[in-house]
Amino acid sequence: MNKYSIKQLEEIANNIREDIIRMLVAAGSGHSAGPLGLADIFTALYFDILKHDPKNPDWSERDILLLSNGHCVPVRYATMARAGYFDRKELLTLRKLGTRLQGHPERVRLPGLESTSGPLGSGLSQACGIAIAHRIDNILNRFIYVVMGDGETDEGNVWEAAMFAGNNHLNKIIAIVDRNNIQIDGPTEAVMPLENYKQKWEAFGWYVIEIDGNNIEDVIDACAMGRAITEKPVLIIAYTIPGKGVDFMESDYHWHGAPPNQEQALKALHELRTLGGKIRSEHE
């Protein structure tokens, strides 16, 4: 991919948020908060960090990107479309019968998806399996990125995979946890407290980086640092605002699994267009 300036990436991320709103209102179902909060991370991944080729999704030298919290897949679809994997018009088929854009990603439906995800907690185990296979095959030039939700790490198999990766020094794994502090039933610290989060991952043998997940430059820099770590797997705790960019959605757990209606979508798009105008004015 061509390199973009940070301001250009911020504009792309804002456009992706607009696409997410359009997708969700057309579908009439789906998740709003997580995808909006992850737009900066996915923009950084697809437009700067990942080694990939939209015209050749199965390129043998590509990096691997797994989305463990599969319900957040609208952000991945919107970003892939902007990156050139498929026509943006297809985004409006989200969750329709027979579409390639299912409510959770299905690997065999859409080129460029590396795994099917839905059951929470599975992505890190999949990353471990790929990392071990690459080690056996002496594939040394590919990184495995896995995006997870913080509420998802209530699942015990996440910690089994974390222990396995730490024990086997799977240094090609860079995991990014979307630390937005909400899950479907409420704030994470009310449902199942996760803190002290950094120390927990370190205790499992991981190198941990904490960043502002809505700062694209921070995401790019953290992944660069992660690729330089040679002795451990890397965990990036990315603090994000769920519903980012839409004032009435931000930090409200009720939007975890709810789409906007027509009126709410119009209001959200107005906010995002206003924000987009501010970003563009900074280019001038």
Q: What is the CATH number of the domain that holds 100?
A: 3.40.50.970
Q: How confident is the model at residue 277 (pLDDT cuts 50, 70, 90)?
A: confident
CA separation for the pair 270, 247 (Å, rounded)? 11
The average pLDDT across 172-190 equals 96
Specify if 1 maps to a domain: no
Question: Tokens representing 173?
Answer: 């794994």
CA count, 13 A, side-chain hemisphere, 197 = 24
Burial of 118-139, coded b for 16+ CB within 10 Å and e otherwise, reads: eebbbbbbbbbebbeebeeeee
Bridge partner residues of 176 (DSSP):
147, 236
Q: Tokens 């973009």 label which residue?
A: 4
Specify if 179 maps to a domain: yes
Q: How far is C-alpha 55 from the chain's CA centre?
A: 21
Specify if 175 maps to a domain: yes
Specify if 29 maps to a domain: yes
- pTM exceeds 0.85: yes
Give how many domains the chain has, as a whole number. 1
Q: How confident is the model at residue 26 (pLDDT cuts 50, 70, 90)?
A: very high
Specify if 80 maps to a domain: yes
Instruction: Render pLDDT for 190-230 as a digit per residue (tens, 0 to 9).
Output: 999 999 999 999 999 999 999 999 999 999 999 999 999 99
CA separation for the pair 121, 156 (Å, rounded)? 8
Average pLDDT in the chain: 96
Give the range of the structural domain holding residue 64, as residue numbers without chain letter.
6-281
User: Could you tell me how many residues make up the chain?
Assistant: 284
